[in-house]
Amino acid sequence: MSRTVYVNGEYLPEAEATVSIFDRGFLMADGVYEVTSVLGGKLLDFDGHFARLERSLRELDMACPVTKDELLAIHRELVAQNGIDEGMVYLQVTRGNPGDRDFSFPDPATTPSTLVLFTQSKPGLADNPTAKTGIKVISIEDIRWGRRDIKTVQLLYPSMGKMMAKKAGCDDAWMVEDGFVTEGTSNNAYIVKGGRIITRNLGTDILHGITRAAVLRMAQEAQMEIEERPFTVAEAQAADEAFFTSASAFVLPVVEIDGAAVGTGAPGPVAARLREIYLDESRKTAV
């Protein structure tokens, strides 16, 4: 079934939606994105995703082409038109189409940004069987640029990381810089040791996950102990549990790192509990 997508003010069948070959998102990866999950036809943590979008745009000196209310209305319209019960809304803003290729940023007064949104239907998103089995990861060197806190569309290395993991018979890669895990290819990484949840502190070296913020807040409310600091692969392999968070996977256990079983080699209770709390709470506050 053809989706209805959104491009610069218009709702169109996906086959009719186009962006210029001179768009800076296409030529320069000059753009940012967000992915918001949908459960029961409602958006999870829209406020958090909008706040991060505004921050990413600000850091790159780009204007936000729509207001928060307008963006929420577009999300809802696409969810309704495409009958999304469980899935995601993908949003991308680029520095637009200046009509030619040039390294200099175009004048925003004459080159408006490009705004594209589309939905992805994922029935069973919340009931993911992987939550019961866990995933296996490999570690790879983190060779991405230094502003990973900006959610840009430069996803070539994370894609390569996923392919390296696949080739090794695993599901994802955790990236390592100066001996410490930064994050997964599209998620934030955690370990649990002696009941404490350990995850890398925020900085320019990781994306400030919206799910990370929510899960840590909920963990704190549930009186769980949290330590925000970097950890090594060896420490993760010797941990009681490991898991990751992202907007589309929520909380998922990691049971193997570079061939070594984590804890018992089966998903642990902390990840299971956090997944349950996160899903319950997010459903309640979904818009």
Report, as residue numbers or ranges, the catalytic residues. 151
Q: Which is nearer to ligand PLP, 154 or 232 (CB)?
A: 154
Contact pattern from residue 222 through residue 251 relative to ligand PLP, giving x for each residue in contact according to CB under 6 A and a dash for the rest: -----------------------xxx----
Query: Residue 276 CA to chain centroid, in angstroms?
Result: 19
Which of 96, 98, 161, 209 forms a contact with ligand PLP (CB under 6 A)?
A: 209
Indicate the SS3 state at residue 282. Answer: helix
Q: Which is nearer to ligand PLP, 171 or 183 (CB)?
A: 183
- Assess contact for 252 and 244: CB atoms under 8 A: yes
Binding of ligand PLP at residue 56 (CB under 6 A)?
A: no
Find the shortest distance in angstroms from Cβ 92 to ligand PLP: 13
Binding of ligand PLP at residue 186 (CB under 6 A)?
A: yes
Number of residues binding to ligand PLP, judged by CB under 6 A: 12
Tell which positions 114-173 bind ligand PLP, by CB under 6 A: none
Find the shortest distance in angstroms from Cβ 103 to ligand PLP: 25
Which of 210, 257, 274, 277 forms a contact with ligand PLP (CB under 6 A)?
A: 210
Beta strands in the chain (DSSP E): 4-7, 10-13, 31-39, 42-43, 87-94, 114-121, 135-141, 172-177, 180-184, 188-193, 196-199, 225-228, 241-246, 250-257, 260-261
Q: Which is nearer to ligand PLP, 183 or 241 (CB)?
A: 183
Instruction: Classify the phi-psi angles of 210: left when phi > 0, otherwise alpha if psi is within -120 to 50, otherwise beta.
Output: alpha
Binding of ligand PLP at residue 187 (CB under 6 A)?
A: yes
Binding of ligand PLP at residue 82 (CB under 6 A)?
A: no
Token pair for 167: 């080739």
Tell which positions 20-49 bind ligand PLP, by CB under 6 A: none
Binding of ligand PLP at residue 188 (CB under 6 A)?
A: yes
- Assess contact for 34 and 75: CB atoms under 8 A: no
The CA R_g of the chain, rounded to the nearest whole Å, is: 19
Find the shortest distance in angstroms from Cβ 35 to ligand PLP: 6
Find the shortest distance in angstroms from Cβ 244 to ligand PLP: 8
Distance (Å, rounded) from C-alpha 246 to C-alpha 152? 16
Distance (Å, rounded) from C-alpha 286 to C-alpha 128? 19
Q: In this structure, which amino acid lies at residue 146? A: G
Q: Which is nearer to ligand PLP, 145 or 261 (CB)?
A: 145
Q: Which of 286, 256, 253 is nearest to 272 (CA)?
A: 253
Token pair for 2: 């053809």
Find the shortest distance in angstroms from Cβ 2 to ligand PLP: 26
Which of 212, 239, 256, 268 forms a contact with ligand PLP (CB under 6 A)?
A: 212
What DSSP designation does 124 have? T
Find the shortest distance in angstroms from Cβ 106 to ligand PLP: 27
Instruction: Using CB under 6 A, list all residues that contact ligand PLP.
Output: 183, 186-188, 207, 209-212, 245-247
